[in-house]
Amino acid sequence: MSLLCSGIGVGVSRAIAIGPAHLLKSGLIEVQPSTISAKQIDAECESFLQAIKLARRQLKAVRNKIPASTPSDISAFIDTHLLMLEDSALAEAPLELVRIHCLSAAYALQVKRDALVKVFDEMDDPYLRTRKDDVDHVVNQIQKNLRNLGMDVTSTPDLQGRIIIASDLTPADAILMGNRGVAAFITEYGSPMSHTAILARSLGIPTIVGVHNATRYLQQDETLIVDSEQGIVLADPSWDIIEHFNQRIVQQRYHEAELQQLVNKPSRTLDKTAISLQANIELPEDIDATLTNGAVGVGLYRTEFLFMNRQQLPDEAEHYATYKRVTDGLNGIPVTIRTLDLGADKQTEEGAGLCTPSACNPALGLRAIRLCLKEPELFKPQLRAILRVAADAPVRMLIPMLSSMHELNAVKQLIEEVKQELTKEGLSFNPNIPLGAMIEVPAAALSADAFAKALDFFSIGTNDLIQYTLAIDRIDDEVSHLFDPLHPSVLRLIKMTIDAANRHKIPVSMCGEMAGDPRYTRLLLGLGLREFSMQPGALLEVKKIVRESDLPQLIRRTEQFIKQIDEGPADKLWAMLASGLE
């Protein structure tokens, strides 16, 4: 048995998985042998040609986005890839295999790729040998396009119960593979606060990120144990170790069954203070988990998924239909729809018609509301749809990443324009929709009083608030150990935001990952937070702590905790938190 021990990886959830390894080497899309019927040949060839055409458009879009100051060999790379797309070995030869041997387009491309790569492998020239990476890059893009065109569904390998090992995963990968029943994810890069990790947590898939060299050391099909609470991967374990972890899985299920008893119990502290526990969702499909875990509302509906994994931007009708599905599914439970937060860790497909420049520092770049204000034609259909859906359901609108009143005023002006348009068109909408801000940039927390006067509610986004306060890139595994929710500056900003909201009598909730981490529940209650929004799977664990909490005592102890935090050694503070601020 070998052990890739804790410290190498960081667990992003609190679950265990046991299963066979499935390696996704260098992100290459894997394709299994598959054939089609003679009747499907023409359609298959047409899809292949479309996928090539799309790949060309995507590469050209990337090339157009390269800043002028970039060294010329970078754009030369793209030109090489474009030339490869013109080469008959990739662009035409697979079609012969489809026509003559009835292979699926995806598999035919795979066969031709393998043949090409073999030629490169046999070359003596080390430079030419590395060109196979270019082939793989281009092939991968075509395979992705075929997948998006729905062409290789039957040819993808069976991932049920498997533990995926990849260099890195996009949020879209996590969703697609989650739907195919994977048991766990292990990635070489990425951090627990990336959007992919947040999704994996929300899907309940045990995940460990930042396990460097995992694709080199772990073997295809070998049995693995993933303990995502400890951040441990065990490879090829003995039977007694498997038995031990099986026992822990049983205990975990027992604990979950116990928590289920709390679903219909009120969420209030021992002194009967009501605490609102709400869910974070990303897709209409998350409604089930929201309801079965007893959430009293959706505190954060992330809408980026409407824009991901596709080639065309959604129009107003699609926005409206999707939000309507959510409000209908929630059946009167309030929902807070967040406007688009694309950029940084939430990207669209290349060539999707949306220009999010590949800035050197995307987290500080044209992200979220900055992008929306720059591209009103992208933003307006979403604003219209949210206003319209709010006509018949309790919907609030939440703006991400606001950093100045100037931006807020620009948003309000745009909303006013949209309202006038809707009035002119005779479409019904809610003119009094509550408007709130994500407080996730330190500037917004420091100006919380001004924002509170101009808004109906706040939602604290600790994932970004911590990233921007501590200058820690939330997706960089090299610095993820410095991502510290207990940093005095972070706690002060949270407290300032809660206090400002209370002064101005507007509701304040927290929807960052900190809100769903039971280790922080008592501290947040002590800081004055009364509304929490989190991935649905965490609701009952947090509710249990809420119900056991003595609020007046927590408030007293939190004051002490905050006083000590500047001097107190971190381990002592953690011990205080672990013992429930006793």
Work out what residue 462 binds among Mg ion, ligand PEP, none; the CB cut-off runs from 5 to 8 Å by kind.
Answer: ligand PEP
Identify the CA nearest to 228 among candidates 250, 247, 245. Answer: 245
Of residues 390 and 437, the one with the C-beta less far from Mg ion:
437
CB 360 within 8 A of CB 464: no
Work out what residue 511 binds among Mg ion, ligand PEP, none; the CB cut-off runs from 5 to 8 Å by kind.
Answer: ligand PEP
CB 380 within 8 A of CB 346: no
Identify the CA nearest to 211 among candidates 193, 236, 192. Answer: 192
Smallest gap from residue 198 Cβ to ligand PEP (A): 6
Smallest gap from residue 51 Cβ to ligand PEP (A): 31
Work out what residue 152 binds among ligand PEP, Mg ion, none; the CB cut-off runs from 5 to 8 Å by kind.
Answer: none
State the Cα–Cα distance between residues 290 and 271, nearest whole angstrom.
Answer: 26
State the Cα–Cα distance between residues 150 and 274, nearest whole angstrom.
Answer: 48
Of residues 152 and 345, the one with the C-beta less far from ligand PEP:
345
The interface with Mg ion within residues 437-456 (CB under 5 A) comprises 440
Smallest gap from residue 304 Cβ to ligand PEP (A): 8
Q: What is the dihedral of CA 51, 53, 56, 60, to 10 degrees?
A: -120
CA 143 to chain CA centroid, Å, is: 23
Smallest gap from residue 116 Cβ to ligand PEP (A): 40
Q: In the annotation, is 511 catalytic?
A: yes
Of residues 21 and 515, the one with the C-beta less far from ligand PEP:
515
State the Cα–Cα distance between residues 354 and 268, nearest whole angstrom.
Answer: 45
Helix (H, G, I), strand (E, B) or coil at 197: helix
Smallest gap from residue 61 Cβ to ligand PEP (A): 25
Which helix (H) or strand (E) is 89 found in, with range? helix 88-91
Of residues 344 and 389, the one with the C-beta less far from ligand PEP:
344
Identify the CA nearest to 520 among candidates 582, 462, 577. Answer: 577
Of residues 228 and 463, the one with the C-beta less far from Mg ion:
463
State the Cα–Cα distance between residues 162 and 220, nearest whole angstrom.
Answer: 10
Work out what residue 512 binds among ligand PEP, Mg ion, none; the CB cut-off runs from 5 to 8 Å by kind.
Answer: ligand PEP
How many other C-beta atoms are found inside a 10 Å radius of the C-beta of residue 493? Answer: 25
Smallest gap from residue 457 Cβ to Mg ion (A): 16
Tokens for 127, please give them: 């430079």
22, 81, 372, 511: which one is catalytic? Answer: 511
Among positions 94, 461, 526, 536, the unique one binding Mg ion when judged by CB under 5 A: 461
Beta strands in 203-283 (DSSP E): 207-209, 223-227, 232-235, 276-281
Smallest gap from residue 169 Cβ to Mg ion (A): 19
CB 463 within 8 A of CB 490: no
81, 195, 319, 372: which one is catalytic? Answer: 195
Binding mask 463-502 toward Mg ion (x if CB under 5 A, else -) reads: -x--------------------------------------
DSSP collapsed to 3 states, 62-127: HHHHCCCCCCHHHHHHHHHHHHHHHCHHHHCHHHHHHHHHCECHHHHHHHHHHHHHHHHHCCCCHH
Identify the CA nearest to 350 among candidates 60, 90, 143. Answer: 60
Work out what residue 531 binds among Mg ion, ligand PEP, none; the CB cut-off runs from 5 to 8 Å by kind.
Answer: none
299 binds Mg ion (CB under 5 A): no
Of residues 136 and 440, the one with the C-beta less far from Mg ion:
440
Q: In the annotation, is 81 catalytic?
A: no
314 binds Mg ion (CB under 5 A): no
Of residues 501 and 581, the one with the C-beta less far from ligand PEP:
501
171 binds Mg ion (CB under 5 A): no
State the Cα–Cα distance between residues 244 and 166, nearest whole angstrom.
Answer: 27
Of residues 14 and 302, the one with the C-beta less far from ligand PEP:
302
Work out whether the CA dihedral 415, 417, 418, 424 comes out positive or negative.
positive
| Residue linked to tokens 């929490």 | 532
Of residues 142 and 401, the one with the C-beta less far from ligand PEP:
401
Query: Cβ neighbours of residue 373 under 8 Å, at least 6 residues apart?
Result: 379, 407, 410, 411, 414
Smallest gap from residue 556 Cβ to ligand PEP (A): 28
Binding site for ligand PEP (CB under 6 A): 198, 300, 302, 341, 440, 461-464, 511-512
Distance (Å) of CA 563 to CA 491, 527, 529, 557, 567: 11, 13, 18, 10, 8
State the Cα–Cα distance between residues 17 and 252, nearest whole angstrom.
Answer: 11
Which range in 201-209, 304-312, 356-364, 459-467 contacts Mg ion by CB under 5 A?
A: 459-467
Number of residues that bind Mg ion (CB under 5 A): 3
Smallest gap from residue 338 Cβ to ligand PEP (A): 8
CB 488 within 8 A of CB 539: no
Tokens for 12, please give them: 């992003």
28 DSSP 8-state letter: P
State the Cα–Cα distance between residues 424 and 55, nearest whole angstrom.
Answer: 42
Work out what residue 385 binds among Mg ion, ligand PEP, none; the CB cut-off runs from 5 to 8 Å by kind.
Answer: none
Smallest gap from residue 470 Cβ to ligand PEP (A): 13
Of residues 293 and 339, the one with the C-beta less far from ligand PEP:
339
| Amino acid identity for residue 412 in this structure | K
Which helix (H) or strand (E) is 242 found in, with range? helix 239-260
Which spans of this chain sit near Mg ion (rule: CB under 5 A)? 440, 461, 464
Instruction: List residues with catalytic annotation.
Output: 195, 511
